[in-house]
Structure formats: structure tokens, C-alpha cells
Amino acid sequence: MSKIIKEIIRKKLTQLSAGELMNYANQYGFSLTQQETKQIIMYLRQYEVDPFSVEGRKKMIQQLARITDQTTAQKAQQLFNDMVTSYGLDHLFR
């Protein structure tokens, strides 16, 4: 079952639209410009992202900090950690 969940999450990351990302940003209190949104989407589609490994998440957060800023990247990391815990998916992200 965890393999299916992981595949769904990976697929969602690669198919995320700019509009969806902007909606998520607004919903969770992030401010992103249209340019930042486009750059994040391009990154997610261009590179194979592994959110399930510590190293993969570290690379994602570093790239997010380059695109936006360190504060936004830290907020995103905290939100990610909170969501993983609240949905009881900790076992997938070790």
C-alpha cells in the first residue's frame, strides 16, 4: 500500500499546476510571485524529486530557498513536516 501512496505523491508533484500551487500558497499563508510559482513548477517537472528520502527533501528545500527565500523554504519545510505527521504518514518519510 505504501508503494501506491508514494507513487500518487510523486505523480501529484510532477503534475502540479501553477494555479494549484498559488492556491496552496494562499491557503497555507505563503506569498509566492507568479515567477516563483513557474520556477517551482519547472523544477518539479524537470528533476526527479524524492520527497521520501532525507537527502531528496533537503535538495527540494535548498532549491526552494534559491527560487524564493530562506524564510519561505523553512515555512514550507515545517508545513510539510506538520502535514506528514497529521496524516499519519511519518513511516513513509524516514
pLDDT digits (tens, 9 = 90+) for 23-77: 999 999 888 999 999 999 999 999 988 999 999 999 999 999 999 999 999 999 9
Which pTM does this prediction carry? 0.85
What is the C-alpha separation between 18 and 13, in angstroms, rounded? 11
What is the C-alpha separation between 18 and 34, in angstroms, rounded? 8
Does the pLDDT at position 89 exceed 90?
A: no
What is the C-alpha separation between 73 and 80, in angstroms, rounded? 10
What is the C-alpha separation between 46 and 55, in angstroms, rounded? 18
